[in-house]
A and B are shown apart, each in its own frame.
Chain A
Amino acid sequence: MSLHFAIAAVVSLVGALLAVTQANILHAVFGLAIALVGVAGVFFTLDSPFVAIMEVLIYVGGIAVTMIFAVMLSSVSNPKERESAGRRLLAALVAVAFFVGGALVIAHADFGPGKKLPPSAWGLEQVGRDLLGRFNLAFETLSIVLLLAIVGAIVIVRKESAMPANADEEAS
């Protein structure tokens, strides 16, 4: 158990380090994917196989792949180009602020004694009921945000390709 946790923790730390240190943007994304697999492993050692598998299915199989896809389809002139010093400083400040804030919240939080929930408390059925019941508003808001993102992407792509495509059709 603790050995499994150690492996998962090391994998996620190494992946996270790769994600922030690699200058090559694709290497960084692959580092992020490794970190996410590690986090899934941590969930697994915490007896939450469902959350673990969703982490792999959605974050590794979905989000990381989408990020790589976006990087590949955009024309990166120099993949090793670094951000300017000012922007890097700003990013570092934001990251440190988030870390300090999060750490303060966790340090002052009273979690109470550790307790083990019965399987019915976090099972698939309960997740479904909570999503469509208690957290319905947040769930629906998220779907609207995603829908807007898709519509926005389509609008951007159409504007760029509208002219030449129409010209081709009329010519043929």
Chain B
Amino acid sequence: MPQTLTQLLDGSVLAMPIAAGLIMGMLTVNVLMLVWAERKVSAWIQMRMGPTEVGPFGLLQTLADMLKLISKQLITPSNVDKPLYHLAPLLAFAPVVAAVALFPFSESTILVQNDYGLLFVFAFGGIAVIAIFMAGWGSNNKYALLGAIRSVAQNISYEVPLILSALSVVLVVNAMGPTLSSGDGVVAINGLDLSHIVMTQDQQGIWFVVLQPIAAIIYFISALAETNRAPFDIPEAESELVAGFHTEYSGMRFSLFFFAEYTNMLIVSMLAVVLFFGGWDGPVLPGPAWFFLKSYAVIFVMMWVRWTFPRLRFDQLMTFCWKVLIPLSILNLLATAFVIAVL
């Protein structure tokens, strides 16, 4: 009997605050651990030690950093566009938190069940782009503005192959049959429902990374660009742009951008797990354990890539997207549709 958390709390006034609190708690721990992991992984790859002093293996280092950031004074430069400058960190932060709520951690652990979950995740990503613009323009700083323009150009370009590669998976899911047997009985299959994508892989006994290897590779490359990770971290190339669109932000406002960035890493990894690696599907361990193990494995690869490849130039980045990734993903989509139509 699958029971989503919302069903469990249904009717209670506390449902919304409890769900929001759960997500916030999970995300805070996630960001603290990811920052620590990133420093440890980079140190390991470069044969250094990384943080060692605070707590065992330096585990509490980021907690200390967080407390420091919270206690810092919020500096507002005098010539900023005040409403935009103040709104931007909140607008960057809110959509990523909302997007996490949509993911099915297991067949029964779903905070928000939605028929169009996949589209919602992409739509929330689109709102975050506006936040970057607000930050870059509102800061009234040439580096912030340049960083924002680069970041947005990159984000809206790489959104195209990202969505096209996800669409190939949706086609495959819908082709797997008009119905799907779930805990609720037989339901009409819906390729845009995140849990249906996972259930299809579970029942067919095959991960879509096998059926859609090209889409998986395109998705991973685009996801790196969407999260502004190296080798696509041009929006905040330290040597040219100081810190990109968040140059003028300090203290807790900076932390919100940082929080959004690392949560975005988790979101694209969770989406990769749902689309290509069978979601919560796995032996022995419970569903959520598999889901997070796989997600963090994807994140580890993202970190590995960051500390392995040098940064691209901006024109290389755009050429690669428009002349390689987008045609390739359209071809992949057409080939998928063709195979489905013939079979």
- Cα-based distance from A27 to B88 in the complex (angstroms): 13
Residues of A within 8 A of B83 (CB): 27
Task: Give the total of B residues in contact with A, Cβ under 8 Å.
Answer: 25
Q: How far is the CA of A120 from the CA of B99 in the complex (A)?
A: 27
**CB–CB A53/B126 < 8 A:** no
B103 cross-chain contacts in A, Cβ below 8 A? none
Least CB distance, B122 to chain A, in whole angstroms = 6
Q: A37 contacts which chain B residues (CB < 8 A)?
A: 127
> Which residues of B have CB within 8 Å of A73?
149
Chain B residues within an 8 Å CB radius of A61: 122-123, 125-127, 129, 159
Q: CB of B141 within 8 A of chain A? A: no
Roughly how many angstroms separate A64 CA and B156 CA in the complex, as a whole number? 12
Q: Please judge, given known A-B contacts A53-B116, A57-B123, A69-B152, whether A30 and B134 are in contact too, CB under 8 Å.
A: yes
Those of B210-258 within 8 Å (CB) of chain A = none
Least distance between A18 CB and chain B CB atoms (Å): 10
Q: Does the CB pair B130–A26 fall under 8 Å?
A: no
Asked if A60 CB lies within 8 Å of chain B CBs, one says yes
Which of A33, A57, A65 contacts B119, CB < 8 Å?
A57
State the Cβ distance, A43 to closest chain B Cβ, in Å.
12
Q: B126 touching A26 by the CB < 8 A rule? A: no
Task: Say whether, besides A27-B83, A27-B84, A56-B123, A65 and B152 are in contact (CB < 8 Å).
Answer: yes
Interface majority SS (helix, strand, loop, mixed), chain B: helix
B10 at the A/B interface (Cβ < 8 Å)? Answer: no
Summed over the interface, the residue pairs from A and B with CB atoms below 8 Å come to a total of: 60
Residues in chain B near residue A49, CB distance under 8 A: 114-116
B130 touches A68 (CB 8 A): yes
Residues on A with C-beta less than 8 A from B84 are 26-27, 30
A62 touches B116 (CB 8 A): no
A30 CB contacts on chain B under 8 angstroms = 84, 130, 134
B134 nearest CB across to chain A (Å): 7
* Shortest Cβ distance from B138 into A: residue: A26
Among A57, A62, A124, max chain B CB count under 10 A is at: A57
Q: Which of B93-129 contact A (CB under 8 A)?
A: 114-116, 119-120, 122-123, 125-127, 129
Listed A/B pairs (23) with beta-carbon separation below 8 Å: A26-B84, A26-B137, A27-B84, A30-B130, A37-B127, A49-B116, A53-B120, A57-B122, A57-B126, A60-B123, A60-B127, A60-B130, A61-B122, A61-B129, A61-B159, A62-B156, A64-B130, A65-B130, A65-B152, A69-B152, A72-B137, A72-B145, A72-B149
Interface residues of B (CB under 8 A from A): 81, 83-84, 114-116, 119-120, 122-123, 125-127, 129-130, 133-134, 137, 145, 149, 152-153, 156, 159, 192
Nearest 4 Cβ contacts at the A-B interface: A61-B126, A56-B123, A57-B123, A53-B119
Given A49-B114, A73-B149: 6 more A-B contacts, CB < 8 Å: A26-B137, A27-B83, A50-B119, A53-B120, A68-B130, A68-B133
Residues of A within 8 A of B (CB): 24, 26-27, 30, 33, 37, 49-50, 53-54, 56-57, 60-62, 64-65, 68-69, 72-73, 124
